[in-house]
Amino acid sequence: MAKVCELCQKGAQKANLVPRGIGRRVTRRTITKKRVNLQSKKFIINGRPIRLRICSSCLKRIKFEERLLLEQEKLLQEAKEAVKITESVVETAAEAVVSGDLVDAKSAKPKKESKKAAKKEKKLVKRKAALKEEIKEKEKIKEKTKKKETKKTTKKTSKTKTKPKAEAKSKAKAKGKKSTAK
């Protein structure tokens, strides 16, 4: 079996071990292989258990995405509960209006259910804000990596373009020297 991640196709990379002697003097270079940290993990896909060999970075990403999905599901359930509570409060208020049992807002005491609903809504708002911040941070990191990659590619292209000009100048100088020698 190949030692490659089955999700991202990450494999072994060539690397140099560079021991240094006195000061910064390089004594030798030894070529080594940096292997991927593969983990064997069982997943259930379409109701069937499948064993995959995944690198640790993919495994971490999968766990993080799974945690986000679970949090979103919890938020949806809590939001549905909050909506049910607010609907029941609205219904009781409508019944009070119809029956004429309305009391002044100053003299009426808030019910415990409405306090609980308010606390749940506050928690929901805080969790949503935290999730949005995490997503924004990840997007910023992705944008930074994309910018770095584009800078690297532009540097490579600019280096290749400047070489022919330098060669042309050196040839012109060489021709000028030859003509003065004759």
Q: How many CB atoms lie within 10 A of CB 151?
A: 10
CA torsion angle 153 157 159 161 (round to 10): -170
Q: Distance between CA 93 and CA 83 in Å, rounded?
A: 15
pLDDT value at residue 182: 42
Name beta bridge partners: 44: 49
156 falls within a domain: no
Task: Please provide the distance, in angstroms rounded to a whole number, between the alpha carbons at the two ends of the chain.
Answer: 70
Residue 117 CB neighbour total at 10 angstroms: 19
Residue 90 structure tokens: 């609205």
User: Do the Cβ atoms of 106 and 151 come closer than 8 Å?
Assistant: no
Q: Give Cβ neighbours of residue 44 (< 8 Å, ≥ 6 apart).
A: 50
Residue 5 lies in a domain: no
Answer yes or no: is 66 within a domain.
Answer: yes
Q: Is residue 146 included in any domain, yes or no?
A: no
What domain range is 82 assigned to?
Answer: 13-139
Tell whether 115 is covered by a domain: yes
Number of domains making up the chain? 1
> pLDDT below 50 — which residues of the chain?
104-108, 110, 180-182
- Is 117 among the domain residues? yes
Query: Is 63 domain-assigned?
Result: yes
What pLDDT score was predicted for residue 172?
66
134, 17, 7, 112: which is closest to 64 by C-alpha? 134
Residue 27 within any structural domain of the chain: yes
Is the four-CA dihedral 178, 179, 180, 182 of positive or negative sign? positive
Single-letter amino acid code for the residue at 13: Q
Token output for 137: 């941070």
Do 5 and 58 form a contact (C-beta atoms < 8 A)?
Answer: yes
